[in-house]
Amino acid sequence: MLFFLLAGFLLERLPLMIMVVVLQNIKNIGRIIVMTKTCMEKDCQFGGLVQEINDGQTVKVLCGVHSIMYALNESKLTYKKGYPLKSELKEQADCSCCNNLAINMIEHLPTENTQWTLCETHLKKLLTHSLSPKEFHQLYNQYGDVYLLHDDFYDPETGIAFQQIE
């Protein structure tokens, strides 16, 4: 009960914070982790609509602009002090397209979160809107009509990309 009261108190006072309650065992003894979801790029203050990229070693939280930069040339990113964070991912899944070792990415949006499991190649293609029609249809059949597969970026019938970023 104390955890729920504390959670309500924090949510009232910290509207831009995201709260995750982690249950440590079946006795419902938990701990609360509060983390801000803002872009980790040094000079960026953008928060809210971000992608959380976890490669099993590090976790990078990036806004849309900086996630594209990550996909095009990660070495150009300059992270805030103390970032990127160390990953606590225990096990990595296979890519949804090719079955290679996947990077996990959570796309945080106002209405929903989408969790992607894609290898580095397919993740970068997704972020730069350059999936092949076959790859688009594979992901569309699995994830549905989500933001990064939206018809602003791809023709839903043919899977052809409209706005590739190079």
H-run or E-run covering 7: helix 2-13
* Euclidean distance between CA atoms 85 and 147, whole angstroms: 25
pLDDT tens digits along 49-66: 899 999 999 999 999 999
Residues 88 and 112 both lie in one domain:
yes
Residues 28 and 46 both lie in one domain:
no
Inter-CA distances, 27 with 22, 23, 53, Å: 12, 9, 32
Residues 1 and 77 both lie in one domain:
no
Residues 45 and 15 both lie in one domain:
no
Whole-number pLDDT of residue 60: 94
Closest alpha carbon to 105 in 148, 156, 46: 148
pLDDT tens digits along 129-163: 999 999 999 999 999 999 999 999 999 999 999 98
Residues 89 and 164 both lie in one domain:
yes
Residue labelled with tokens 């990309």: 161
Residues 78 and 153 both lie in one domain:
yes
Contact 152, 115 (CB under 8 A): no
Whole-number pLDDT of residue 10: 39
pTM, two decimals, is: 0.74
Return the structure tokens found at 2.
């104390």
Residues 71 and 16 both lie in one domain:
no
pLDDT tens digits along 24-41: 222 323 333 334 578 999
Residues 65 and 110 both lie in one domain:
yes
pLDDT tens digits along 86-132: 999 888 899 999 999 999 999 988 888 999 999 999 999 999 999 99
Residues 68 and 102 both lie in one domain:
yes
Residues 87 and 121 both lie in one domain:
yes
* Euclidean distance between CA atoms 145 and 150, whole angstroms: 6
Number of domain units in the chain: 2
Whole-number pLDDT of residue 120: 95
Whole-number pLDDT of residue 156: 95
Domain, as residue range, for 84: 39-166
* Euclidean distance between CA atoms 6 and 49, whole angstroms: 25
Residues 102 and 159 both lie in one domain:
yes
Residues 29 and 44 both lie in one domain:
no
